[in-house]
Each structure stands twice: as structure tokens, then as C-alpha cells.
Amino acid sequence: MAPLTLVSTGDDWLLNAADDIRSTVLTQGAVLVRGLDIREPGDLAAVRESLGVQRYRATELFGQRTVYGDGVTSPIEWPAERELCPYQEETFSTIVPRITLTACVRPPETGGEACIADARELLRRLPDELVGRFRELGWTLTRVFHGEFGMDWREAFGLDSYDALTDLLSTIGIDHTRVSNGALRTVRRRPATVVHPETGEECWFNQAAFFNSASLEPRDLAVLRRVFGPDIPMETSYGDGSPLTAGEVSLINEAYTKISTVIPWQAGDLLVADNMLTAHGHRPYTGNPLFFTSLGAPVSLSL
């Protein structure tokens, strides 16, 4: 799935091209715009407004990001030497963003290419039996907050009060219990496929492989098991709680690899992607790149 590439020709070009960009994103899944003058976070916020994309406000953070304000952040922090496999934003939430905007201010010295994958094609590439089981059962994400490791729940949810947290978790369909050493275990079941609200197409829409322990490097998983036992920070399963096999996780990750399109970055690039139709990640890189991201067009999903 290679995105259509458009080249900006002036200050008013984006505003005039907004309708064409939005309609093309619905068919192609993504559009790459080149030659934009995006240098500051506020520039991307202005681009979001020019495209008529309503700002999205996340309920829960899963990775460290630099927050610039007005709905603009850095991409999720990820080790430069590791590939970030394609994923869709906020699949674990009840309200999800349909549009993702990624602006390249300063590209990597080497590598760092964007990798995008068509979620409709992914459904077609996966075995019918696997897809059918996910379609019927959904997927479950278990996240355990350990105060000494990773994000604290206060940081993740932006709350200081445990009472406020329990009210929020009840509202958004997340079960929670206290486990050893005061850690907080949260469990939520979500649909694994969704029907796109505008195109009516079914899309693979989950991070069951991304967050599964089988996707971790064996040495990293061994350390987590030694420190936390069964309560490692992230784990996924089918919606009924039955585990995914390592083979099933590999099948999903291999399907992403087979259908991914690689896009080299240039300064002034803007990747506009439909988050339901398109998963995105990036290759390992060197240097000190600078990207801004913004999520928009919120869509409510049924539990």
C-alpha cells in the first residue's frame, strides 16, 4: 500500500487541497504531503485545523511522549536501534482517533523510514480460523502498573486520586485489582476488528501481537518474568482470556511485514493516515530526528 504523494505549492495549498486529501485517505489509507513549512508544534496544530480534523484527547497513555500542547506530541519513545512494528493508535480505548498526522521536521541521518500496512489487507492475509476467532472473541489487554517500573497509573491516566481512577475505569470498561507489592492490574476486552464508520469496510484493529509477551526479545522477557513473575507489565490474550500461541503472534507479525510499505522521510513531509485503515511504525535509525504527531477525528467503539 503505497500512499499517494502530493507536493505543496504555497501557503493556501493545504486548505484548498483538504477535501481531496480527506477523500483520498479514505480510499488509499494514507497520503504523503511534501514541502510543508512545519517547524514548530503549533504549525502541525494549524495543519490539523486546515484539514478539518477534530482534535483527539487520549484517556490513557501507553508510552512516553513529549507533550507540546494543543494536541501535538512527539511520537512514542522507542529505542533507535529497534524497529517499531506497525500498529494502530489507541486500539485499547473506547474512543479512538480515526486520523493520525505525522510531520517530519528533521529526518534521521540514516534509516527511520516509515512502515505502513493496510489493515484491510491484513485481514485477507491472516488465516480464516485465526481471524474468525478474533472476530468472535475480541482481544484482552492486561496492563499491570508497577511503581518501580514504567509509567505509574497517575501518569498514564492523568489522575492523582485513586477514587477518581476507579470511577474512570468503570466508565471505560476496565476491570482492576490490586496485586503483590501494591501493583495495579487492569484488564479490558476490546473488539479485534472494526467496521470503518465511513467506508463500511472491516479492518483489523488491535494490538494483540504488539503487546504480547511473545513479541519481546527473549532476554527482555526473561528479565520481566524474573522480576514480576506472572504480572509482567503487558500481556494480551483472546477476549475470553485464552492465550495466544507464539505461532499465532508470529503469523500476525509476519503478515504485517509482508504487506508493509516503506517510506523514506524528508524534512517538510506530512503523513496523513486513517488510523482504522492503516497501521504505522518505523525502521531503526541513527541521528537526532524531530517529528511531531497529532491524533484526531474521534470515533466511539462499542464495548
Q: What is the pTM of this model?
A: 0.93
Average pLDDT, the chain: 93
Fold classified for 4-80+96-117+263-300 = Double-stranded beta-helix (3.60.130)
Tens-place pLDDT, residues 100-128: 999 999 999 999 999 999 999 999 999 99
Instruction: Between 16 and 200, name the one with better pLDDT.
Output: 200
Q: Which CATH superfamily is domain 122-254 in?
A: Clavaminate synthase-like (3.60.130.10)
Residues 232 and 224: beta-carbon distance below 8 Å: yes
List the Cα angle 162/163/164 in 5-degree steps: 90
Q: Quick check: do 4-80+96-117+263-300 and 122-254 share a fold?
A: yes
Phi/psi of residue 222, each to 5°? -60, -40
Place of cell 500512499: 3
How high is the pLDDT of residue 278? 97
pLDDT tens-digit readout, 284-296: 999 999 999 999 9
Determine contact, residues 195/207, Cβ cutoff 8 Å. no
Answer yes or no: is pLDDT of 213 > 80. Answer: yes
Judged by average pLDDT, the poorest of 87-101, 170-184, 283-297 is 170-184
pLDDT band at 11 (very low <50, low <70, confident <90, very high): low
Q: Maximum Cα–Cα distance for the chain, whole Å?
A: 59
**In the chain, domain spans:** 4-80+96-117+263-300, 122-254
Query: Of the given ranges (6-20, 21-35, 95-109, 160-174), which has the lowest mean pLDDT?
Result: 6-20
